[in-house]
Amino acid sequence: MKNKLKITAVVAVFAAFFIGLQTSALAASPGSTAFPLSVKDWLENGPVTLPRPPSKEKKDAEPAPLPAQGFYLVAFWTADSVLCANFAPTLALLQERFQGRGLKCAVLFNEREAPVKQFLSSFCNDLNYAVGLDDGGKTSSAYLEPGVVLPVFFVIGPDAKIIWRGTALDIETVVTKICEGRFDLKREEKLSSMRKEMQTAIQAGVMENVLVIASRMLELDPDDDFAVRGTLFVYEQRGRTQDALQFVDSALAKTPSRVQLYMAKLSLLARAGHPPLEFQAALEAARQALGENPEGLCALALASIDTIPFASVSPLLSLEMAESALKKLPASASRSLRTVCLETLARANHAAGRVKKALECQSEACVLLKGSPSEAAAETRRAWYAEVVKLSEEPASSNIDE
């Protein structure tokens, strides 16, 4: 099973940064009133009805702080998008984690039912959010510009105001801020305007302006992922890897619990050919900062095995992070997340030479995936571990010796 929680290397972040910028004047932006959802058919967990704008008498009243009255995440997806497919399990985790804080998620597809149902079949046992078919494109045309690249996400408050618009890369940070009471709509309106400025600067090729705008954005909000990606994008374009590393270290000093920044740092260290001790130090710092974040620990454990130069990190560190991720999962954790943690622990055990333990973890993951579309792939991996165990216990065959 693919690790859906894993944030990919810096190159992928740059690609996603461009995808998030391929829009013109925004049809629906922070501060504007949300349009009602016009849905032909709810395929899963519907219906979802957005709140109506407050009456004239209530408009001047001070709104209840988010998320006291609940809030909505509305996503526009397409069934043939790899980005949408990759984000589906993460959206389920967000719904699970923040449902008690008032989050309601709805995904809309503006296409025929058959491909959407085929898309959903891959996640049949993990869908805990609403999925609907747009009614003739009415909702999509109200929220989106022609030609916009999907997925696109909107967060809508209890007063029917759009409070955020953005991409999959930023949504977890935004929802977390809302639930922790750290989200500010007035600040978001300013940031939204700056994002448009940054888009114009990138399209014009004026990269120095991108850095200036990103710096202003980070003064307003040190956690703004869009500004971080803009800065890293410019440094990547100019081959300034050391500047990028210094920027990431500075950002981590302010917000040391951001998984994305650690993933970016690991990728940058690899690109610049840094020695193993620096990878080890980066992951030790990440483990310390993310001690209570099982998803982050799992992602970094897999990255330590999968995406950085071989033998750069102690196999014991990878193993300890993977074990900690599984132990810290709440009892209510979704099957998807538990399976990812088990398969990551299997990988870490294999890397540490504990092949029987690897087989045990993979076998447990297979039990969880029984009857799902991912069962066959998980069983293939289990059989592979079983063969490794067998080979470790038997003398090499004569034809191998020859």
Interval 33-90: pLDDT, tens = 999 999 999 999 989 999 888 765 455 555 545 555 689 999 999 999 988 988 888 8
Share of the chain above pLDDT 90, in %: 55
Q: Are residues 303 and 379 in the same domain?
A: yes
pLDDT at 335 over 50: yes
Contact 156, 34 (CB under 8 A): yes
- pLDDT confidence bin for 263, thresholds 50/70/90: very high
Predicted confidence (pLDDT) at residue 17 exceeds the cutoff of 50: no
Q: What's the CATH number where 256 sits?
A: 1.25.40.10
Task: For residues 178 and 289, state if they share a domain.
Answer: no
Whether 168 and 275 map to the same domain: the answer is no
Question: 195-251 pLDDT, tens per residue?
Answer: 889 988 988 989 999 999 999 999 999 888 889 999 999 999 899 999 999 999 999
What pLDDT score does 18 carry? 45
Whether 255 is in a domain gets the answer yes
Closest by Cα among 25, 5, 42, 86 to 260: 5
Decide which of 371 and 175 is more confident: 175
In a domain, 50, yes or no: yes
173 plus 288 within the same structural domain: no
Q: Are residues 309 and 167 in the same domain?
A: no
What tokens appear for 391 in the block?
A: 């080979």
Among residues 149, 166, 183, which one ends one of the domains?
183
Q: Are residues 252 and 172 in the same domain?
A: no
Return the amino acid letter for 137.
G
pLDDT of residue 398: 52
In a domain, 71, yes or no: yes
For all residues of the chain together, what is the average pLDDT? Answer: 86
Quote the pLDDT of residue 314: 95
**In the structure, what pLDDT confidence band is assigned to residue 12 with cuts at 50, 70 and 90?**
very low
Q: Is residue 302 part of a domain?
A: yes
Domain range for 344: 239-394
Residue 335 lies in a domain: yes
Q: Are residues 71 and 159 in the same domain?
A: yes
Q: What are the residue ranges of helices labelled H in 294-354?
A: 294-306, 315-327, 335-351
Residue 220 lies in a domain: no
Q: Does 144 reside within a domain?
A: yes
Question: Is 98 part of any domain?
Answer: yes
Please provide the distance, in angstroms rounded to a whole number, between the alpha carbons at the two ends of the chain: 36
- Quick: pLDDT tens for 338-381: 999 999 999 999 999 999 999 999 999 999 988 877 788 899 99
3 state DSSP class of 59:
helix
Find, among 168, 288, 145, 287, the residue nearest to 225 by Cα. Answer: 168
Residue that terminates a domain, selected from 137, 165, 183: 183
Residue 397 has a pLDDT of 60
Do 255 and 145 share a structural domain?
A: no
Asked whether the CA dihedral 289, 294, 297, 299 is positive or negative, the reply is negative
Domain co-membership, 40 together with 175: yes
Whole-number Cα distances in Å, 137 to 38, 110, 114, 141, 353: 8, 6, 16, 6, 54
Total domains present in the chain: 2
Residue 243 sits in the same domain as residue 336 = yes
User: Are both 179 and 243 inside the same structural domain?
Assistant: no
- Give the CATH number for residue 85: 3.40.30.10
Q: Say whether both 388 and 258 belong to one domain.
A: yes
For residues 19 and 289, which has the higher predicted lDDT (pLDDT)?
289
E strands present in 101-151: 103-109, 130-134
